[in-house]
Structure 1
Amino acid sequence: MYFIEWLMRRTLTASKKDITGFEGDMKQFEKATEKYGKQYRGMQERQVSDAPSDARSIYRMNDTYMDVRTFFDEWRGGVLLGLSPLLLGLIIFPVLVLPGLTSILFTGVVAEAGRAASFGDYIGVVGLWSIWFVMVAAFIYLFWIFRMECLVQRHIVVRFNRKTRKIYINRPNFAGGNRVYDWDDVVASVDPDDQVVTKKRKREILMLFLFKQRTGAEYHDVVFLGAPLRSDHELYALWEYIRRYMEEGPASLPNPKCIPSFPWPWRSLLAPWSFLENKWAAAPWSPGMIALVMIVSPLMLIHAVAHWCSLLLCWPTYWPRQLRRESTASGPV
């Protein structure tokens, strides 16, 4: 789940030695950041949509702060599924296989066959123990990949506090870590001068850029915000929802349908469906779409189970004490 954030952090914090061969691209990127940093200054005050929408992306909202989800929550389960043979082997071998075979080394008898152990039996026991230690070593080596979606906080949360006029990003250290930025320094992936947007079904991502020229930080930062958005119209509507919340308050907005914090299984069923949702909307109940859904439904079910297991192997998002106090403050800190 956090692979894209991890990759983005590595890219944005790369040294000159690490980007050898890409110096030209990085120079172009730096020029673009300077351009957008100047062009879109003050975009927080400019309306971009007449119909603000929570776009199924809000965890919590009150008069002081609003918590918003990030984009790649549905992209989880693949690591757990890919490492499942290794994980099962790590558990099954020491519980069901190795204890009974190990007794051969101490008794010299194969209890199941009622005979004395042969040289081949000893070799087999040692070989199985060796296989298990290799699996342990492989798991240790691949643990950083496992942490991308298991044994880590369940979600990345972006908190917008309209009283302190700051945004607070809560995420694992390897994915960028906790950060605090001024609301006025945010540049969103919308164009305030172009409000002609369509409702054509396609996957969109609302990106928030925090350019170091504006934030004063050592590196740029990027946040991929919101649920998988279904059109650029919905993208603009979500940004307008956030913008109005920060500039005008929750009274100017429709009440959001907040996302539950508990990992209900039915929400994991929606994760694989999000990849087919736009195709289905384009041709609902057509023979081709029905056939496609029937063909991929076993894979979707496997993905849903892996997605839910991944959530269960994570813990709820925890805000450190200082960040929690500041991000929930009802006045400037």
Structure 2
Amino acid sequence: MESPSPYADLSVINLNSTFLEVVDKYYGWKGWVTFMIGVISLMMFSFGLWFLLYGFGRAGTGDTAGVFSGLLAAFLLWTFAFVAVRLGRFEWAYYTHYPIRLNRKRRLVRVLRKDGSTLAAPWDDVFFTLDQDAGFWEVRGHVLEHDGETIKETFALGAFRTLNNSEGMPMLLAHWEFFRRYMEEGPAAVARYVTQALPVDGKKESFRVGYEVLASHFRAPGNAGTVLAVIGWPIIAVSSVGRWIAMRLSRIPKWPDEIEEVDRVEADDPYTIDARINPPELR
């Protein structure tokens, strides 16, 4: 069976002869939760303030029940708002993204964890497979114990996820092929498939870049693409605000100095690809 053409998706940060670095699976949708929780929390806070003022107003009339009801409603609404903000912390209280780096020369996989520590595993020892998460299929890598069966740690490789359908699954296999060819055949085998790189190496993305990342989920060829663009535009616009806020509050990830030293890229590397290949407004 012929292998599919590699599909990079909008996931590459850096590609060179030493390593390939991509974003995590949550990066592409970052901002939706922040926006929704922000709106809901603001509504709850506003209603809570109204009930608080209502309760104080009833105090002047001697309406004890009204005072108690107003204060209780305000307390509950503000509590719900606080809980909602706490639940949404995963989008804005940690890192802008969690990079995954494939070092081809040393045949190593490195993953930045949520707590800032680094997972490192030999590429040839990681068990890669397609698996589901909340109904969406993705490429997963299982780091195994010495028995070769017990799963020690799992990570999702790449940003592309799909439902189980005739269009998405072939693209997911092509996404895996992108990583496989890089590690097995080298950068020359995949460089031409990278048409845009994410400008997030050592910095935070601009509002425009965030908008384009969110908009990429609503793009499709033909009439379907036109319909999606019309329907999705207002959603993307307001969610981009949430994404911008989340990115501003998040920290920029940084690999330890010892890893950067090992992964040093040659100055004359002919396959160096990064955000400099993008149009000026997307760098």
TM-score, normalized by the shorter chain, greater than 0.5 = yes
C-alpha spacing 1:130/1:89, structure 2 compared with 1 (3 Å): farther
| Structure 1 range deviating more: 147-156 or 263-272 | 263-272
The aligned residue for residue 281 of structure 2 is: none
In structure 1, stretches of 5+ residues that fail to align are 1-46, 111-116, 191-202
In structure 2, stretches of 5+ residues that fail to align are 131-135, 265-283
C-alpha spacing 1:139/1:177, structure 2 compared with 1 (3 Å): farther
The aligned residue for residue 313 of structure 1 is: 249
The aligned residue for residue 329 of structure 1 is: 262
Alpha-carbon distance between aligned partners in 1 of 2:112 and 2:20, rounded to the nearest angstrom: 13
Q: TM-score scaled to structure 1, two decimals?
A: 0.56
Q: Who wins on radius of gyration, i.e. which is larger?
A: 1
User: 1:121-170 CA deviation, whole Å, 9 max, x = no partner?
Assistant: 99999987766654554355345421121222111211112233221111
Is 1:299 equivalent to 2:232 in the alignment?
no
1:187 aligned residue (127, 147, 155): 127
Q: Secondary structure at the match of 1:155?
A: coil
The aligned residue for residue 63 of structure 1 is: 17
Alpha-carbon distance between aligned partners in 1 of 2:205 and 2:65, rounded to the nearest angstrom: 46
Alpha-carbon distance between aligned partners in 2 of 1:292 and 1:57, rounded to the nearest angstrom: 22
- Quote how far apart the aligned CAs of 1:82 are: 3.0
The aligned residue for residue 208 of structure 1 is: 141
Is 1:285 equivalent to 2:239 in the alignment?
no
Is 1:241 equivalent to 2:178 in the alignment?
yes
| Length, aligned pairs only | 249
- CA-atom RMSD, angstroms? 4.4
Amino acid at match of 1:189: T
The aligned residue for residue 147 of structure 1 is: 89
Alpha-carbon distance between aligned partners in 2 of 1:181 and 1:69, rounded to the nearest angstrom: 18
Alpha-carbon distance between aligned partners in 2 of 1:205 and 1:146, rounded to the nearest angstrom: 23
Q: TM-score scaled to structure 2, two decimals?
A: 0.64
- Quote how far apart the aligned CAs of 1:260 are: 0.9
Alpha-carbon distance between aligned partners in 2 of 1:187 and 1:236, rounded to the nearest angstrom: 15
1:241–1:253 contact (8 Å) kept in structure 2: yes
Amino acid at match of 1:312: R
Alpha-carbon distance between aligned partners in 2 of 1:55 and 1:291, rounded to the nearest angstrom: 22
C-alpha spacing 1:155/1:63, structure 2 compared with 1 (3 Å): same
Alpha-carbon distance between aligned partners in 2 of 1:231 and 1:89, rounded to the nearest angstrom: 37
Percent identity over paired residues: 23
